[in-house]
Structure 1
Amino acid sequence: MTHYFTDNWENVQNFKARPDDILIATYPKAGTTWVSYMLDLLYFGDTAPERQTSLPIYMRVPFLETAFPVIPAGVELADKLATTPRLIKTHLPVQLVPKSFWEQNCRVVYVARNAKDNVVSYFHFDRMNMGQPEPGDWSTFLQNYMDGQKVFGAWYDHVCGYWEKKKMYSNIHYMFFEDMVEDTGRELDRLCSFLGVSTPSKERQKITNSIHFDAMKQNNMTNYSSLPVMDFKISPFMRKGKVGDWKNHFTVAQNEQFDEHYKERMKNTTLRFRTEV
């Protein structure tokens, strides 16, 4: 963890969730903003259209554990949300999620992305985000990632932790980034079904168009360009949004080493990922 996620720790852990809150949980760089925007449009695209052009996504969907000096703390933003349901995002591993979310039986939308594309995206993110530790070069970063020495811990523990939780907590909807890339409309339908939301097909099509990667990348309310902590001269916050970009980064040796390590770390889970679509 960096201090930006621990400075307000007590308030985060004591956060009072409400039964209709929706928690969007992910390991960093797995499609968090994508799903946040999908949910925001689903619930408020029609009823509060002015929000779409006046409030950046990080104000509409507060990042619970943050304590960045440039904006109010995530807990504070979440407490002040006037919307129902409140959409709240977190990167906390399952065991650190504030207890009130489970006690209130809140719905949790978890998004997972295959480890190879995830590590590439995380590498470029750390290069441009001044709130993150220096990434070092690619091979150093890859090794640290495999060792779980990243902010929010090991990818393996994170994705498996929520996968296991789903077995005993039925209010988790587990989504895959690769499925969303393959067929965004289908995944939106499944999400609506989980949430019990009925939206006319015309409205769903409108949402699908709005959450297209290129549209979001150009949209200043969703692309994080207004946060001074990010240096877009190094890399955009929303870079490619593709499946399979890892092939442009991994050497043959790195890929073999990673596969071996992955097999060992994931041997006890039924969780399966695709690294191409």
Structure 2
Amino acid sequence: MQSTEKKPAVVRMSDDPKKMEFTRSVLFDFHGVQMTKYFTENWEKIQNFQARPDDILIATYPKAGTTWVSVILDLLYFGKTAPERHTSIPIYERVPFLEITFPSMDSGVDLAENLATTPRLIKTHLPIQFVPKSFWEQNCKIVYVARNAKDNMVSYFHMDRMTLTQPDPGDWNTYLHRFMEGKVLFGSWYDHVNNWWKKKQTYSKLHYMFYEDMIEDTGREIDKLCFFLGLSPSAEEKNQIMYGVQFDNMKKNDMTNYSTFHVMDFKISTFMRKGKVGDWKNHFTVAQNEEFVEDYKKKMKDHTLQFRTEI
């Protein structure tokens, strides 16, 4: 396994009362996918995770709307019976990140195993070939969210800048080329979205959503999600959910905006930045866009999977 970075940087947050120290992780090839130690050190336990038939797995490439859909699902299932969850428990505890393993923190597997809710809502960024087999054996419902590559890349770039355990993103032009080559954490965006799309054709319990559709008409997409899940919220419940999952409201809510997750430096960037379609235009030069579009055409060969880069 060869690392793509020579030396991890140690980052200290001097104004943090806990005086935590974080090491930016180093990428390495893990069974053909770029990964870091924070997502592979607990690998056997991750792979042996025992899913239950009523578990719901939220799967995405990083920064494709994971938190948004997590909050929607949490409110759909528990907003009426336990509304205090939304204002008292961080989303990363309500919806554990299955493969994460940070020192001095409960692992995602431990958090998921200890969830007292029914159903258990669990999130993952794993490419489909890495998903624990018990999710398929138990015929679990899976909600996959995909976002157009340009906006996804921009959002991931800013998250890598402010998340102190992520590999150093470098400058924008360097990052763009690394993204195109799949040299980022969780590997190729192209492989991720395409392989999950392929799985949807044969696995009926997979609901494939698009970030751009959710931006365009959140209510419509929540209705589709409810139909898939067999849920029938009242008009009042749906209105409460729609209010709770508006981008500005999630960004202000400390239980959804990751401001309590101490590996993120909000002085560099907020975790929830803009929540828009088309912000890529503020980052790509004309030459970068032309190069990216040509490369995209070669890699996106399944024409049944279509993305919108503006709405």
Q: TM-score range by the shorter chain?
A: over 0.9
Structure 1 contact 160–269 (Cα < 8 Å) conserved: no
Deviates more, 1:70-79 or 1:80-89: 70-79
Structure 2 counterparts to residues 5-44 of structure 1, below 5 A: 5-44=39-78
- Cα distance, 1:201 vs structure 2: 1.3
Secondary structure (helix, strand or coil) at the match of 1:261 reads helix
Q: 1:254 aligns with which of 271, 275, 288?
A: 288
Distance 2:218 2:194 in 1: 24
The residue aligned with 1:227 is 261
Unaligned runs of 5+ residues in structure 2 are 1-34
- Cα distance, 1:70 vs structure 2: 4.2
- Cα distance, 1:252 vs structure 2: 0.3
- Cα distance, 1:270 vs structure 2: 1.6
Distance 2:303 2:201 in 1: 12
Distance 1:181 1:150 in 2: 26
The residue aligned with 2:302 is 268
Secondary structure (helix, strand or coil) at the match of 1:168 reads coil
- Cα distance, 1:199 vs structure 2: 0.5
Structure 2 contact 194–302 (Cα < 8 Å) conserved: no
Q: Does 1:170 align with 2:201?
A: no
Secondary structure (helix, strand or coil) at the match of 1:108 reads strand
Distance 1:54 1:245 in 2: 32
Give the letter for the 1:119 counterpart: M
Q: Does 1:48 align with 2:79?
A: no
- Cα distance, 1:269 vs structure 2: 4.3
Identity of aligned residues (%): 70
Q: 2:136 aligns with which of 102, 123, 131?
A: 102
Q: 2:183 aligns with which of 135, 149, 165?
A: 149
Distance 2:261 2:103 in 1: 11
The residue aligned with 1:133 is 167
Distance 1:70 1:242 in 2: 35
Give the letter for the 1:195 counterpart: L
Structure 2 counterparts to residues 108-119 of structure 1, below 5 A: 108-119=142-153
Q: Does 1:66 align with 2:100?
A: yes
Distance 2:164 2:43 in 1: 21
Q: 2:229 aligns with which of 185, 191, 195?
A: 195
Distance 1:233 1:79 in 2: 34
Distance 1:214 1:49 in 2: 19
Give the letter for the 2:167 counterpart: P
Query: What is the CA deviation profile of residues 75-117 of structure 1, one whole-angstrom value per residue up to 9, with x for unaligned ones?
Result: 0000000000000000000110000000000000000000000
Instruction: With a CA cutoff of 8 Å and minimum separation of 6, indicate the structure with the bigger relative contact order.
Output: 1
Unaligned runs of 5+ residues in structure 1 are none
Structure 2 counterparts to residues 79-94 of structure 1, below 5 A: 79-94=113-128
Query: What is the CA deviation profile of residues 32-91 of structure 1, one whole-angstrom value per residue up to 9, with x for unaligned ones?
Result: 000000000000011112222221000000000000124200000000000000000000
Give RMSD over aligned pairs.
0.7
Q: After TM superposition, which residue ranges in structure 1, 4 or more long, deviate above 2 angstroms?
A: none
Distance 1:191 1:220 in 2: 25
Distance 1:190 1:268 in 2: 24
Give the letter for the 1:183 counterpart: D
TM-score for the superposition, normalised by structure 2: 0.88
Give the letter for the 2:45 counterpart: N
Distance 2:110 2:302 in 1: 39
Secondary structure (helix, strand or coil) at the match of 1:123 reads helix
Distance 2:104 2:233 in 1: 36
CA distance 1:183–1:70, shift in 2 (3 Å): farther
Larger helix percent? 1
Q: Does 1:161 align with 2:200?
A: no
Distance 1:165 1:128 in 2: 33
Secondary structure (helix, strand or coil) at the match of 1:76 reads helix
Q: 2:217 aligns with which of 171, 176, 183?
A: 183
State the number of aligned residues: 277
Structure 1 contact 22–85 (Cα < 8 Å) conserved: yes
